[in-house]
Every structure is written in C-alpha cells, then in structure tokens.
Amino acid sequence: MLPVSGAAAPCADGLPARPWSCSDGARVPRPDLERFLPRAARLLGPALLGAALLGACSAGRAGRAGAGEAEPALRPLAPPSGGADGPARSPDASAGAPEPPAEAGSEAAPAGATDAAASPDAATGEGGSGSERPALDGGAPPPLPAGTKVLHVGDSFAAALGIELNHALEARGVRGLLRYKTASFIPEWASGNDLPHYMRTHDPDLVIVTLGANETAMKEPGLRAASVRKLVGVLGGRPCVWIATPLWGADNGLMAVIRANVAPCRFLDSNSARFFDDATPVRDMPRLPDKIHPTMRARARWAGFVVEWLARERAPEPGRPWALRPE
C-alpha cells in the first residue's frame, strides 16, 4: 500500500517520491490528486485512499503501455539491400523489388537520375501490377529459348527496363537476372569486380547492358570508348546487346561512341527505333515527373519491344541459343 503522507523512497527517475508515487517506482503525475489528497485522507481514511491510489497507478501503467509501447505504424517496404553478390545488387525479378543502389564515387549523376527506376508511377496513377501490363508490342508472344538465362546489368535505366523485361522473359520460360546500380558509370562496370563475378556466378546465355544515362552530359564522350571495349571484353564473346539509353535531352554523342565500340555485341538504338505496332519512336515514351525515366506503363511497352526485337534478331547456333544476327 502506498503511504498517504510522510517520506517515501525515490522513484526510478531519482527524484523524491511524492505521496502518490506508484509502488514500482514509476512516477504517475497527477496534479488533480495533489489537490485532492489532503481532503480525501480525512474523508476516506488511509485504507480506502491507498486502494484508490493503487488503482490510479495501475491505470497509469496501462496508459503508458497503450501509448508509449504500442506497435509502430507500418511503413512501406524498403527495397532490400545487397546480398551474396555484393552491395547495390538488385535481386532476380522473381525475388521481389529491387534494392536501393549504391552511389558512384568518382562522378556525380545528373539531376533526376536517381532511383526512380523501380518506383510505381504514383503521379500518373499507374501501378506495377501484372494485370495492368499492356500486351507485348508485336502482339503474339515470340518464341524464345526456354530454360536459358539472360543477365541484364547497368544503371537506373537498366532497372526501369529490366524489371518488366524479366517479367516478359520469364513468361516465356527464360530466367532473367537483373543487376544494377543507379548512379553508376561505364568505367566502373568495365574495371570493377561486379561484372566478372556475375559472369562466373550466373553463366548467362545472353548479356544485356543498359549504361550511359549518367554520362550524357560529358563534354568529351570519346573518352568512354576504351571503357566500352573493355566492358565488352569482360563478357568473353558471350552473345550480348547494348541497349541505348532513350535520351531525354540533348545528345552529347555518347551513344554514337558506344555504338562504334560495342562489337561484337549488338547495339539496340532506343533513340532511332520505333515500336513495331504503331511506328511511334521509342524515345518519345511517356516519362515520370522527373522527365527522365519512363512511366511504369511505358516501361512495360519498352520491354515488350525489346523482347520482340530479340526474337527477330536471334540466329541460334549449336551451343549458342541466343546468338544474334550480325549488324
């Protein structure tokens, strides 16, 4: 029972206990009781007052448990971080949402070239659910070599294209593997350890590269020629396609530099290509409010275009089911 008057042991906070402090040492501030106690002590007597105070303490503890210890509000799922394949790695399309990519250290990405790559297009009310994906650009699903693996690497445009592309590939029995870092650059993929690791680990039948978005403001894009050749060399002669970034502003000539140095890989020029169904330019696809990355619906259509382009250009050879026609 709590004392009604006289000294009491200090509470857990170290301050002197007031006559109505709880027996567990936790203080329950009750100014109304402070005014009420002297009169209540005379009217009710110590026994009844002690029982009332114990009830107040219990109510105070219950209030704290309900207010201060409640389960926090749920937050939207954060993209997972890197796993066994190293930092800033996006998972397979079948494994869930992509992770937040690492920032490149040596060069700054242009304004807006952030990880809008995998976010739903809330501004336009478009989501990413499979039921909302439009039909592939050419209509009927093209035949593709089931049981093969396609590795897709690059920057935020690799993510923008690759997530939907993996859905389209896997619907045809092809396993899609997406590995990207948004603020990344051609030299870091050409000289780093990630790409060789992915090649050894996944042994893909086809490699798709989507890089260059963060270098479209370079004044001397020709400096990237050696890095493009080095990156292609890491692929070891594997069938490969470099898909050009669909530009959103002025062309600094980087895509032409890539095209001139990408052999034996094929080059799919997103800036001159047209959708197969209505001949509208791929480059004119709708963009997010950043005016850089395509909307969710546009990404699905872009992926359908790429799947059909791959089916049309594929010229399989013994042991190379994803061999492509020479340009």
Tens digits of pLDDT across the chain (327 residues): 444 444 444 444 444 444 444 444 444 444 444 444 445 445 545 444 444 444 444 444 333 333 333 323 323 222 323 332 333 333 333 333 333 333 333 333 333 333 344 443 332 223 333 333 444 454 555 589 999 999 999 999 999 999 999 999 999 999 999 999 999 999 999 999 999 999 999 999 999 999 999 999 999 999 999 999 999 999 999 999 999 999 999 999 999 999 999 999 999 999 999 999 899 999 999 999 999 999 999 999 999 999 999 999 999 999 999 999 998
pLDDT of residue 62: 37
Consecutive H or E run containing 313: helix 296-313
* Contact predicate 155/213, CB 8 Å: yes
If DSSP codes are grouped into helix, strand and coil, which group holds residue 320?
strand
**Model pTM greater than 0.75?**
no
Predicted local confidence at residue 26, as pLDDT: 44
- Output the pLDDT for position 58: 41
Domain ranges of the chain: 1-69, 93-313
pLDDT value, residue 229: 98
Q: What is the pLDDT of residue 140?
A: 58
Phi and psi for 234 in degrees, rounded to 5? -65, -25
Per the listing, tokens 């603020």 go with: 183
Superfamily of domain covering 93-313: SGNH hydrolase (3.40.50.1110)
The per-residue pLDDT for 165 is 97
Q: Is 42 exposed, middle or buried (0-12, 13-18, 19+ CB in 10 A)?
A: exposed
Given this model, what pLDDT does residue 15 score? 45
pLDDT score at 294: 96
> How many Cα atoms within 13 Å fall on the side-chain side of residue 212?
30
Q: What is the pLDDT of residue 277?
A: 87
**Residue 69, CA distances (Å) to 12, 55, 72, 77 in order:** 18, 20, 8, 22
